[in-house]
């Protein structure tokens, strides 16, 4: 009964348009009233404890790093680098979008920010070259959702905090799945766009390619520093966020010189606003997470899933299908915060590595970013590209299918995640 009340209350508040943070608080209060344990002090204490977490310090610093990267010219140079190397291939702007998306994913960790930056630069170019715009928008959307899978990932930080899973291991385990997503949508682009009559970019001389690579060197160095530092244990994910922020600020100020000191205030303000939204959401979800544990909802859901507990693969299939449904009705961050405390005890009991599950579940929830009706990344493409949502949805379908195949490939072959993880965490 408690599980039903929790779900019904949450869906009710979401359906009437309540902001998701307050919807989480509302369903928690409904459950407390039902249990006869209504106490404002419990609500306040759990909100404070939820946000008062050292690993969550990584969130504002990665937000700052993303602002500095976009304003400081890193994004622009990455796109120019990809243009120089693959722009002259037929359909080359599509390959540029995917390569740039993968590189940018290793810098920011935000699907919405990466998608907005790529769409603003590439969609006008693709339109003037005669590309199918809904399909082009769908490709950029499919590339944008790689960001939360490849480290550094804000989603992985939230999942690690909510589920008590190693964030460093999540980061390292996400590298191969993120690259596979890029390969999958690149292959899909080759299939769906090969017959299009589009203008081909002029071939860039090797000298200019090398020059563009040199210009992008400082942007490309950041993921090497972060991943190298995590693998060697030189710093923690939280410290990596601080390094990323300071590094991107230094590059923007003194190397690329596209940030001036007078520009810093609006960048700090934008990062602070986004951080406040995320951390208030974390605080609100912490009340629900405490209640979920107090009333033993994981055990109730575990009883429902009991027929699958003896078969980890089938359990993963069922949980991925559940996640896809949840992704259609709730946004990425609240889904991670709501479902992680419920699902981690279940998968651990079934003998599934929680790091492996976390990576696959992050990928699962990324798909929700490009599925209607919520689809935050779809909304970005629709707004930036000035296209109706219906056309964007149609354009993203082939890439959504390709990335769904990658997800189930990871479900049926866990070694794709676990073998590289064991290698990268070996000392």
pLDDT per residue rounded down to tens, the chain (427 residues): 666 777 788 778 877 878 878 888 888 888 888 877 778 888 888 888 888 888 888 889 988 998 898 899 898 899 999 999 998 888 899 999 999 999 999 887 789 888 988 999 999 999 988 999 999 999 999 999 999 999 989 999 999 998 999 999 999 999 999 999 999 999 999 999 887 888 778 888 999 999 999 999 999 999 999 988 988 888 889 899 999 999 999 999 999 999 999 889 999 999 999 889 888 888 888 887 787 777 777 777 778 888 898 999 999 999 999 999 888 877 898 889 888 988 999 999 999 999 999 999 999 999 999 998 778 899 899 999 989 988 999 999 999 999 999 999 999 999 999 999 998 876 5
**Domain membership of residue 107 as a residue range:** 39-425
What's the pLDDT score for residue 300? Answer: 76
Give the pLDDT confidence score for residue 1 in this predicted structure. 66
Residue 23 is assigned to a structural domain of this protein: no
Within-domain flag for 15:
no
Number of domains within the chain: 1
User: Does residue 94 sit within a domain?
Assistant: yes
pLDDT at residue 416, as a whole number = 96
Q: Is residue 335 part of a domain?
A: yes
SS3 sequence, the chain? CHHHHHHHHHHHHHHCCCCHHHHHHHHHHHHHHHHCCCCHHHHHHHHHHHHCCHHHHHHHHHHHHHHHHHHCCHHHHHHHHHHHHHCCCCCHHHHHHHHHHHHHHCCCCCHHHHHHHHHHHHHHHHHHCCCCHHHHHHHHHHHHCCCCCCCCCHHHHHHHHHHCCCHHHHHHHCHHHHHHHHHHHHHHHHHHHCCCCCCCCCCCCHHHHHHHHHHCHHHHHHHHHHHHHHHHCCCCHHHHHHHHHHHHHHHHHHHCCCCCHHHHHHHHHHHHHHHHHHHHHHHHHHHHHHHHHHCCHHHHHHHHCHHHCCCHHHHHHHHHHHHHHHHHHCCHHHHHHHHHHHHHHHHHHCCCCHHHHHHHHHHHHHHHCCCCCCCHHHHHHHHHHCCCHHHHHHHHHHHHHHHHHHHHHHHHCCHHHHHHHHHHHCC
> Tell me, what's the pLDDT at 245?
93
* Residue 306 covered by a domain: yes
In a domain, 7, yes or no: no
1 in any annotated domain:
no
- 160 part of a folded domain: yes
């Amino acid at each position: 009964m408690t599980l039903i009340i929790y779900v019904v209350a949450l869906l009710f508040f979401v359906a009437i348009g309540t902001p998701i943070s307050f919807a989480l608080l509302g369903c928690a209060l409904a459950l407390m009233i039902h249990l006869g344990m209504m106490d404002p002090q419990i609500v306040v204490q759990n909100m404070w404890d939820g946000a008062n977490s050292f690993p969550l310090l990584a969130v504002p610093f990665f937000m700052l790093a993303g602002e500095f990267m976009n304003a400081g010219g890193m994004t622009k140079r990455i796109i120019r680098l990809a243009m120089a190397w693959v722009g002259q291939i037929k359909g080359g702007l599509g390959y540029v979008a995917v390569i740039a998306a993968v590189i940018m994913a290793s810098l920011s960790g935000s699907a919405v920010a990466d998608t907005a930056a790529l769409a603003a630069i590439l969609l006008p170019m693709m339109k003037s070259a005669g590309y199918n715009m809904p399909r082009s928008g769908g490709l950029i959307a499919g590339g944008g959702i790689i960001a939360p899978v490849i480290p550094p990932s804000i989603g992985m930080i939230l999942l690690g905090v909510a589920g008590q899973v190693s964030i460093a291991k999540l980061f390292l385990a996400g590298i191969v799945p993120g690259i596979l997503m890029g390969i999958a949508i690149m292959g899909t682009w080759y299939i769906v766009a090969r017959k299009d009559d589009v203008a081909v970019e002029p071939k860039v001389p090797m000298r200019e390619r090398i020059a563009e690579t040199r210009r992008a060197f400082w942007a490309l160095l950041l993921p090497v520093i972060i991943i190298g530092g995590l693998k060697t244990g030189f710093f923690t994910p939280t410290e990596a966020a601080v390094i990323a922020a300071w590094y991107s600020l230094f590059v923007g100020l003194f190397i690329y010189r596209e940030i001036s000191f007078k520009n810093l205030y609006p960048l700090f303000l934008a990062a602070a606003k986004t951080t406040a939204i995320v951390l208030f959401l974390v605080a609100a979800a912490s009340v629900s997470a405490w209640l979920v544990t107090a009333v033993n909802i994981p055990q109730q859901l575990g009883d429902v899933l009991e027929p699958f507990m003896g078969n980890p693969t089938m359990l993963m299939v069922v949980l991925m299908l559940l996640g896809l449904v949840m992704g259609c009705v709730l946004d990425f961050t609240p889904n991670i915060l709501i479902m992680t405390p419920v699902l981690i005890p279940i998968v651990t009991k079934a003998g599934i590595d929680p790091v492996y599950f976390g990576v696959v579940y992050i990928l699962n929830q990324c798909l929700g970013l490009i599925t209607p009706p919520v689809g935050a990344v779809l909304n970005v493409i629709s707004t930036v590209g000035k296209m109706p949502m219906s056309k964007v949805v149609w354009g993203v379908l082939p890439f959504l299918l390709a990335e769904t195949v990658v997800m189930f490939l990871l479900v049926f072959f866990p070694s794709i995640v676990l073998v590289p993880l064991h290698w990268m965490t070996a000392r």
